[in-house]
Chains A and B, each alone.
Chain A
């Protein structure tokens, strides 16, 4: 019995971790916007349009300016970290400097044909047309604490599919829950965007070891809920959600459970 319990425990824990790993991996793939792009990185040459361009030693405001590129000079853009760009400046045969410049300085840079470059800073419009959303949430599930990891895929501006893995941590029992939901946004263009959701999944609960009680249970679950996304800034979104779950147990009565949660997510990609 003890052995069986241990095995069960391992499977649940493993499932939970596998789900988390999946969420992270999908997130990574989404951010790279297609595998092909991974191997076809470009290092475009651009022309400085501002009177000068300050080159920092690192990708952050705390790192000192060590060199300055002048107006009309050509620089090569090597890579990007958050809103900082690593550039290379060559002056004659002897001088070659590599440093980091922030988006707000390089934004007005022109391409070699003299055209403005679209550096694509993130706005609320991008949130509206997001492809991937990934986040975590914490909440209350009938008295138990919950931790959610979720991944959502935007099918259209109004509909997305959300995969959620939840760990339930109660005083008397633990559990895991996996759900797939369809989320509908009637007003995707609002900063505070309400949504409705319906979904289904599986819940597995087990009593705490200090509680002497019946064995583990696995049940199907259906849910309906409503919530709101709040666009904060850049790629950050906060959300609040209420879901009412119906546990389709083998007992006479179905169990109704209220879940409240608040989460935090980042979005990536474009539809």
Chain B
């Protein structure tokens, strides 16, 4: 852009210079002719006193400047910001979540990511599951620690991911897919048993691109929170294994 401005202003300067040149040339010509005209007019007035008009008209015709034409070349401006950019990733996933003391259960959720650079992305996720029974509940017979509503488990988190080890993955000799491993960690909240718990998550995953816009992902994540549901406040590790599809747009 700067280049273009410079070039344009350069053109403008050249044009001004040129028109000045033209002006100077015409001015000189004009002066010469004017002198001629004055002499001629003087002579005519002195001798006969007529024919002045004719002489003047002829000179005016000669003096008329040819119009200066400025032609701006037609621009085909390239606007990169109007390119289709596909930095968002949106998808759904399902898998198994093991909640400490409560066993493993099916989990499903959605996620949205924004890819900031080739290496980094930020992601928000929301998922839900239903907890099973603790060993205590199973052994004691009838005792219930939580109501059915309180067994609904859900979490959301916001994480930062870093793509590592990108490369092509070959499935037989015929197909090569773009893929890559990523490490991801973040914070969020888990809700079950009537309370929200501050949760830190971390893990890794693999993203395999089927096409430019469709990717398959597998994730292994640990969700860590403190819980005092069973008496003492303890740090709980909850592992999750999921697979899902995402689209880029």
Tell whether A111 is near chain B: CB-to-CB under 8 Å.
yes
Contact B166 A63 (CB under 8 A): yes
Question: Could you tell me the distance in whole angstroms from the C-beta of B122 to the nearest C-beta in chain A?
Answer: 7
Stretch at the interface among A75-83, A154-162, A181-189, A196-204: A75-83
Contact B116 A235 (CB under 8 A): yes
Q: Interface size of B by Cβ–Cβ distance < 8 Å?
A: 58
Q: Which residue of B lies closest to A136 (CB)?
A: B158
For residue B214, which residues in chain A have a CB less than 8 angstroms away from its CB? none
Give Cα A269 to B122, complex, Å: 17
Tell whether B198 is near chain A: CB-to-CB under 8 Å.
yes
Given A62-B180, A82-B118, is A167 in contact with B196 using a C-beta cutoff of 8 Å? Answer: yes
What is the 8 Å Cβ interface bit string for chain B, positions 54-81, against chain A (1 contact, 0 not)?
0000000000000000000101111111
Main secondary structure of the interface of B (DSSP, over half): strand
Stretch at the interface among A23-31, A89-97, A219-227, A241-249: A23-31
Q: Which residue of A lies closest to B75 (CB)?
A: A113
Contact A111 B116 (CB under 8 A): no
Give Cα A59 to B82, complex, Å: 19
For residue A257, which residues in chain B have a CB less than 8 angstroms away from its CB? none
Contact B115 A41 (CB under 8 A): no
Binding site for A on B (CB under 8 A): 1, 3-4, 73, 75-88, 112, 114-118, 120, 122, 124, 126, 147, 149, 154, 156, 158, 160, 163, 165-168, 176, 178, 180, 187-189, 191, 193-198, 209, 212, 228-229, 233, 248
Please list the 8 inter-chain residue pairs (A to B) with the smallest Cβ-Cβ separation, ordered nearest first.
Answer: A62-B166, A58-B178, A209-B194, A169-B198, A41-B84, A145-B198, A79-B84, A44-B78
Contact B126 A169 (CB under 8 A): no
Main secondary structure of the interface of A (DSSP, over half): mixed
Question: Could you tell me the distance in whole angstroms from the C-beta of B106 to the nearest C-beta in chain A?
Answer: 20
Tell whether A118 is near chain B: CB-to-CB under 8 Å.
yes
For residue A83, which residues in chain B have a CB less than 8 angstroms away from its CB? 117-118
Give Cα A46 to B197, complex, Å: 53
Tell whether A192 is near chain B: CB-to-CB under 8 Å.
no
For residue A120, which residues in chain B have a CB less than 8 angstroms away from its CB? 80-81
For residue B165, which residues in chain A have a CB less than 8 angstroms away from its CB? 62
**Partner pick for A112 among B3, B76, B116, B154, CB 8 A cutoff:** B76
For residue B229, which residues in chain A have a CB less than 8 angstroms away from its CB? 210
Contact B118 A42 (CB under 8 A): no
For residue B86, which residues in chain A have a CB less than 8 angstroms away from its CB? 79-81
Given contacts A60-B163, A119-B80, A138-B187, 14 further A-B contacts (CB under 8 A): A5-B194, A13-B154, A17-B126, A41-B84, A42-B82, A42-B83, A57-B168, A62-B180, A77-B83, A79-B83, A86-B212, A113-B73, A147-B189, A266-B114
CB-defined A-B contacts under 8 Å, sample of 14: A6-B149, A58-B209, A61-B118, A79-B86, A81-B85, A82-B115, A113-B73, A115-B3, A115-B4, A117-B78, A147-B158, A210-B229, A235-B116, A236-B120
Of the candidates B79, B195, B228, the one having the most CB atoms from chain A within 10 angstroms of its own CB is B195
For residue A63, which residues in chain B have a CB less than 8 angstroms away from its CB? 166-168, 178
Contact B198 A147 (CB under 8 A): yes
Contact A20 B156 (CB under 8 A): yes
Tell whether A15 is near chain B: CB-to-CB under 8 Å.
no
Give Cα A118 to B191, complex, Å: 48
For residue B82, which residues in chain A have a CB less than 8 angstroms away from its CB? 37, 40-42
Given A17-B156, A44-B78, is A116 in contact with B126 using a C-beta cutoff of 8 Å? Answer: no
For residue B78, which residues in chain A have a CB less than 8 angstroms away from its CB? 44, 46, 111, 117
